[in-house]
Amino acid sequence: YDSTEGTRELLSKEKVTCYIGFDPTASSLHVGSLLPIMALARLQRFGHSPIALVGGGTGMIGDPSGKSQERSLLSIEEIDANARGMRAQLERFLDFNTTPNAARMMNNADWLRTIGLLEFLRDTGKHFTVNSMMAKESVKRRLEEGISFTEFSYSLLQAYDYLHLYRALKCTLQMGGSDQWGNITAGIELVRKLRARRVHGLVWPLLTTSAGTKFGKTEAGTVWLDPNRTSPFRFYQFWLNTDDRDVVRNLKLFTFLPREEIARLEAATAAHPERREAQRELARAVTRLVHGDEHVERAERAAQVLFGDNIGGASVEDVLMVFEDAPSTELTLPADGMPLAEMLATVKLAASKSEAMRLLKSGGVYVNNVRAADEKVRLTAADAIGGTLFVLRKGRKDHHIVKLTTARA
């Protein structure tokens, strides 16, 4: 963590108004956004007033920080739609209504889109030298490849945000990832020059895993907070799969668990890592914050489906949730059923019936997580989960879902 001089004293002695910017480049926030969200939520719990600033104006330009090439520009309509979707996600963490220090959600489109170019250059641009702007890490990194004037000017816009929030709401603290340090200090300088007031900045390191990968990135892609983009089950599994080396840190960063409970979970991990007690509590706590208790229960129930010996008694809904990424085929079974070998070939889990028979003889086929012991087995609707679903598996991980349609007479 890094901060301007006096930030710690400010937070310990005064109730401050603080803000963090959120870039509306997607229709949902993602797990990488949770760290700044939790920072605002913790400050609100200690009596400070948080502002979640959506970059409806700055999003039209694109922040070059941490980027190796120019961003693709979104339309105003896309940016505005993305901004509208953020409030519901932030409301899971921030109280916008009832407390004396209620959170605010603001959109810098309200002031940046109305300001004139000449006015901005005269009143804001003249307070920055090209030399200082080129010295910023986000710009220096891009000079060899090239950076457009559009992205080069981004820090001036973010600086103006800080000035506006100071003037309107006496905001005296901006927070963000360490890649935002140059943008934050630009705002601090602008407030100092135009309002002769000292304001502050606080940043934290960009989060990585112990394996050296960027936090929140998986083989399947980004982990989103929107349940329509990442299901609550997949979200729960992301946290459950946390490395032992990262789990205590993540408990501290992403939950509101007491220190004593985190210390207990740390000791439990050291003594019995195979039980994954800390990971389970982490998955429960973060999924509860983002999606609610009901989805925690469903995710845990679905996890039993995934790892159970026989999933024949599971609900169709839970099975489909667990295997949402698996290929599927709709089949209509004859009244007397279908030989499993024929079904394997029909859904292309085996290249042919003869290959399917070889797989069955070798014990490499599972139906609803139970090994098919007889290569001549015939499946009927009575064998299906809920009378409508089969989970076929070849080997350890090659799944295929068969959805039964109305049987022929």
pLDDT digits (tens, 9 = 90+) for 86-102: 888 999 999 999 788 99
Selection from 220, 382, 396 nearest residue 306 by Cα: 396
Nearest residue to 148 via CA among 206, 212, 64: 64
Lowest-confidence pick of 14-18, 213-217, 263-267, 348-352: 213-217
Average pLDDT over residues 134-142: 80
pLDDT score for 408: 47
User: Is the model's pLDDT at 169 over the cut of 70?
Assistant: yes
Give the length of the chain: 409
Q: Which of 22-31, 213-222, 306-315 has the lowest mean pLDDT?
A: 306-315
Residue found by looking up tokens 């963590």 in the block: 1
Query: Which percentage of the chain shows pLDDT scores above 70?
Result: 96
3-state secondary structure of 128: coil
pLDDT at 250 over 70: yes
Q: Rounded to 5 degrees, what are φ and ψ at 97? A: -125, -50
Cα separations (Å) of 215 from 45, 69, 176, 221? 25, 21, 16, 11
Predicted confidence band of residue 67 (pLDDT cuts 50, 70, 90): low
Report if pTM > 0.75.
yes
Q: What is the pLDDT of residues 383-397, one digit of tens each?
A: 999 999 999 999 888
In angstroms, rounded to a whole number, what is the distance separating the alpha carbons of residues 24 and 28?
8
Residues 109, 55: Cα–Cα separation, whole Å? 7
Closest to 296 in 3D by CA, of 273, 308, 280: 280
Sign of CA dihedral 55, 161, 104, 249: positive
Please state the separation of Cα 161 from the chain's center in Å.
25
CB-based contact 80:49 (threshold 8 Å): no
Low-confidence winner among 58-67, 178-187, 201-210, 319-328 (lowest mean pLDDT): 58-67
pLDDT of 409? 45
Report pLDDT for 68.
57
- Do residues 392 and 343 lie in contact, with contact meaning Cβ atoms separated by under 8 Å? yes
Please state the rounded mean pLDDT for residues 35-46. 96
SS3 content of the chain, % helix, strand, coil (to 5): 45, 15, 35
Q: In which band, very low, low, confident or very high, does the pLDDT at 69 lie, cut at 50, 70 and 90?
A: low
Give the whole-angstrom CA distance, residue 217 versus residue 223: 7
Number of Cβ atoms within 10 Å of the Cβ of 336: 8
Buried b (16+ CB within 10 A) or exposed e, 49-79: bbbbbbbbbbbbbbbbbeeeeebeebeeeeb
DSSP state of 245: H
